[in-house]
Amino acid sequence: MDQLNIRRRALLQGAGGLGLAGAFVGRAAAQGKEPLKLGITEPLTGSEAGYGADFVTSMRMATKDVNDAGGINGRPLELVVIDTQASPQLGINSANRLATIDKIPMFITAWSAVVKAQAPVANREKVLELSVGANAPDIAKLGDYVYTLFPLAEVDITALAKYTYDKLGKRRAAVAYINNETGIDAAKLYKAVFEAAGGQIVLFEAYDPKATEFSGMLLKMRAANPDMVHVHGLLIDTPLIIAQMRQLGMTQRVSSYSAGYNPKLLAQLGPAAEGFIVTSLAPGVDDNKNLPGFLERWNNEVKRPPNGLPYLQYNYDSVLTAAKLYKYVLDKNQEPTGDALRDALLAIREFDGPLTGKTIVDGHHVKKPVYLLTVENGKFVPMARIDS
Amino acid sequence: MTDPIVLLQILWTGAVTASSYVLLTVAFSLTQKVTGLWNFAQAGTMGVAFYAMYFLLNDMGQPLFIALPAAAILAGASGIATEVWGLDVLRARSSGNLTFFIFTLILAELIIYILTLLFGTEPQTLFPSILSPVHIIGGIAIGDWDLWAVGISVSALVALQLFLRVSNDGQFLIAVADNARLAELYGISARRAYCVTAAIAGVLITLAMYLFGARSGITPNSPMELILTAVIGTLLGGMGRVFMGGLASLILALIQSYSVLVIGSRWQNLLIYGFLFIAIVVFPRGIHLPRRRVRLPVAQPG
């Protein structure tokens, strides 16, 4: 047994050494050539920085992996990261800078309001804008150079609203949503799907993005007597709404979307979060064999749980997708322009990401299964998988 | 929605929400009364108070009974420092009102910027949990925290009233507020009065940020929005009428809370700006209730 262990250890060490040497050679070769640049516009400061900074960390990990494996046809991939504060105005500035000053033909971005604001710049400058994490349904209609690698709200919100009616047996839902690009269209979609299924929306109320006091709205909600509450907001307001609901004696089950999948929310709400339902568009550890390794690496490097794990999975894979687009274009001896990269995206169509599985780019839409999670004993646990 | 229970619940939650706004307004209004300045640097003091508490509670693991007084001392000290090394210098130079206004505004932004560098911009609450036990009394949900918040606010206001009426320093503040030069002729130090005011404002602001930060996420930019409420309360309450400013904030918060009965929640914050506009245009010196005329006895010819 000991001998077997020693042999296994020697084998692992040998394989590790070879891998390390290969990676070193590949990295050295990649570092000698002109880098291929990939623009990244994410909120690194501001109220959404908790997510944005983690997105960028996961993208840096993916970039390191690409370069350690030899880069793209021997050329290293380099990220050019610009802070948007999740603000449309800063988003426009960053897209302009990437397209006109840095001359980068492709950038990854997020937050629905930012994605929409940047779209005219991408279309005008003919650079490929890849949305990863934003989910407003009309992102699919932003023009010839704006594509998403992340399923839009039509995928997870449709699945959630149907599941709420069909499987949870809820018939009277109340919808509270943040009055901005994140909330408006997604809330309308939830309402349309739930009503089409036969349910009734007893309250449909928007709240100010800067609001911290929701008692008035919640009392209206309490009077409407829903049996389910859907909150479509951000990390700063969603826990406040749930907390104030519970303070007012409202015990209804609450659902949200993937932004609610955050450990901080559980800490803030404690037992009040029990039964809370969120969507996830990426597989969990039970459904993806690469995810435990990624989480271990994350914990070793960042030393805390990630914010919005499913988004991180998409962001990691999005860098690999971008690398694949660059490789496709270079293999055809083309200049990596926005047009060439867009054509590559539509030609390849199917991408098999290590952390999100197979993604099919169907024009301006993406098809993926939806995972529902709920809070049980203070933890998010899998609830259902819904294939689109 | 005209159910009396609902109306009473809105009254209660509105009053609880207002408790921190009232303290901020009273701090702002008192400073305006004594110094004659619109001290926007208090937004910076709010940030200092909150993040001092946050740091001591979460990063240093200190209990609240240490974090709260320490933050109050720091907030008061920052107010006094602003007074001594900033405003007093401008007074010595006979600077105009605009200079004072710009100085306090820039100082607030500077402090907020430093806090952003130190603490980042992710919303933070003072405590990991934002919930407290709730009791249903007569159909109205009343949380333990609600009682605590109202109790702290009322106690702070009573203490301030007593201080102003009973103590020498309190009387000196009123004397300086009425006429600083005349007060100095009587041996009252205006400079000391300004520093005492800054210290009191620091304590009130710290209490307000404790109440606010325990329930809501705060970013370094939040104080710039909070100070707007204090400005509106001070304007509506009438300049120089400290407690009326607090009352105006309370009424403003209640109007905001009740407004959801007739308008959508998304318009609630718009009311604040609407009131600010009306206050500046129509009531630049506050709303003054008509005073009852007192008939003086007419002396009869002998």
Query: What's the pLDDT tens digit per position in A235-248?
Result: 788 999 999 999 88
Neighbouring C-beta atoms of residue A318, cutoff 10 Å? 28
> Is the minimum CB–CB distance between B4 and chain A shorter than 8 Å?
no
- Which candidate in B10, B216, B252 is best for mutational testing of the A interface (most A CBs within 10 A)? B216
B279 pLDDT higher than 70: yes
Give the residue on B whose Cα is nearest the Cα of A224: B1
> In chain B, what is the straight-line distance between the N-terminal and C-terminal CA atoms, in Å?
66
**pLDDT band with cut points at 50, 70 and 90 for residue B297:** low
3 state SS for B207-276:
HHHHHHHCCCCECCCHHHHHHHHHHHHHHHHCCCCHHHHHHHHHHHHHHHHHHCCCCCHHHHHHHHHHHH
Residue A387 vs residue A165, higher pLDDT: A165
Q: Does residue B220 lie within any of the structural domains? A: yes
Q: What mean pLDDT do residues B172-197 have?
A: 93
B140: which strand partners? B137
pLDDT class for B293, splitting at 50, 70, 90? low
Looking at the domain assignment, is residue B291 inside a domain? no
**What pLDDT, on a 0 to 100 scale, did the predictor assign at position B42?**
97
What's the pLDDT tens digit per position in B121-175?
A: 778 899 988 888 888 888 899 989 999 999 999 999 999 999 999 999 999 999 9
Interface test with B, best of A202, A247, A265, A268 (most B CBs within 10 A): A247
> What is the predicted pLDDT for the residue at A283?
87
Partner-chain contact B265 A206, CB within 8 Å? yes
**Which pLDDT belongs to residue B286?**
67
Residue B110: give the domain boundaries: 4-281
d(CA A68, CA A280): 30
pLDDT for A141:
92
From CA B218, how far away is CA B210, in angstroms rounded? Answer: 11
In a domain, B20, yes or no: yes
Counting one residue from chain A and one from chain B, the pairs whose CB atoms sit within 8 A come to 112
Contacts of A181 in chain B (CB under 8 A): none
Q: Is residue B296 part of a domain?
A: no
Partner-chain residue, chosen from B10, B216, B269, that has the shortest CB–CB distance to A215: B10
- Asked whether residue B119 carries a pLDDT value surpassing 90, the answer given is no
| Helix then strand then coil, % of chain A, to nearest 5 | 50, 20, 30
> Could you tell me if residue B141 is inside a domain?
yes
How many structural domains comprise chain B? 1
Contact (CB<8Å) A47/B6: no
pLDDT of residue A108: 98
Interface of B with A in 40-59 (CB under 8 A): none
- Mutation target to probe the A interface, by most A beta carbons within 10 A, among B265, B270, B272 is B265
Interatomic CA distance for residues A306 and B184, integer angstroms: 61
Task: State how far residue A212 is from chain B, nearest Cα, in angstroms.
Answer: 6
What pLDDT is recorded for position B294?
Answer: 53
pLDDT > 70 in chain A, percent: 91
Identify the DSSP state of A354. Answer: T
Mean pLDDT, to the nearest integer, of B171-183?
93
Residue bearing the bigger pLDDT, A166 or A361: A166
ipTM reported for the complex, 2 dp: 0.76
Assess whether pLDDT exceeds 60 at residue B207: yes
Q: Which helix (H) or strand (E) holds A254?
A: strand A253-255
- B225 pLDDT above the threshold of 90: no
Q: Is the pLDDT of residue B298 over 90?
A: no
- The CATH code that applies to domain A33-151+287-355 is 3.40.50.2300
pLDDT at A18 over 50: no
Chain A nearest CA to B17, separation (Å): 7
Q: Residue A24 above 70 pLDDT?
A: no
What confidence category does residue A387 fall into, taking pLDDT thresholds of 50, 70 and 90?
Answer: confident
Amino acid A51: pLDDT: 86
Between chains, do A269 and B131 touch, taking CB under 8 Å as contact?
Answer: yes
Determine the pLDDT at residue A7.
Answer: 44
Q: Is the pLDDT of residue B289 over 70?
A: no
pLDDT confidence of B296, banded at 50, 70, 90? low
Instruction: Please enumerate residues of A whose Cβ is less than 8 A from a Cβ of B.
Output: 45-47, 49-50, 85, 176, 179, 205-208, 210-217, 219-220, 222-223, 235-236, 239-240, 243, 246-249, 267-270, 272
Looking at residue B275, its pLDDT comes to 77
Residues of B with Cβ-Cβ distance to A243 under 8 angstroms: 130-131, 215
As annotated, the residues of chain A forming the CATH 3.40.50.2300 domain(s) are 33-151+287-355, 154-280+371-386
* pLDDT score of A10: 43
Q: Please, what sign has the CA dihedral across residues A134, A137, A142, A145?
A: positive
Q: Using one digit for the tens of pLDDT, what is the confidence trace for A314-336?
A: 999 999 999 999 999 999 999 99
Amino acid occupying residue B4: P
User: Out of A250-259, B186-195, B250-259, which region has the weakest mean confidence (pLDDT)?
Assistant: B250-259
Q: If you write DSSP's letter for every residue of A297-342 in order, what string do you get?
A: HHHHHH-SPPSSHHHHHHHHHHHHHHHHHHHHHHHTT----HHHHH
B183 assigned to some structural domain = yes
Does the pLDDT at position B292 exceed 70? no
Q: What whole-number percentage of chain B has pLDDT above 70?
A: 93
Residue B120 contacts A, CB cutoff 8 Å: yes
User: B282 at the A interface (CB within 8 A)?
Assistant: no
pLDDT at A360: 86
Lowest mean pLDDT among A76-85, B83-92, B119-128: B119-128
Say whether pLDDT at A27 is over 70.
no
For domain A154-280+371-386, give the fold: Rossmann fold (3.40.50)
Question: Whole-model pTM above 0.80?
Answer: no
Q: Is the pLDDT of residue B274 over 80?
A: yes
Answer with the residue of higher pLDDT: B265 or B289: B265
A30: pLDDT strictly greater than 60:
no
Residues B88 and B81: their CA atoms lie apart, in Å, by 10
Of A246, A243, A213, A380, the residue nearest B129 (C-alpha): A243
Q: What is the mean pLDDT of residues A77-97?
A: 95
- Distance, in Å, from the CA atom of A201 to the CA atom of A50, rounded to the nearest integer, reads 32
- Return the bridge partners of A174, or none: A203, A229
pLDDT band at A32 (very low <50, low <70, confident <90, very high): low
Give the one of B116, B136, B266 whose C-beta lies nearest to A249's C-beta.
B136
Lowest mean pLDDT among A16-30, A183-197, A205-219, B9-23: A16-30
Q: Provide the CATH number for the domain around residue B134.
A: 1.10.3470
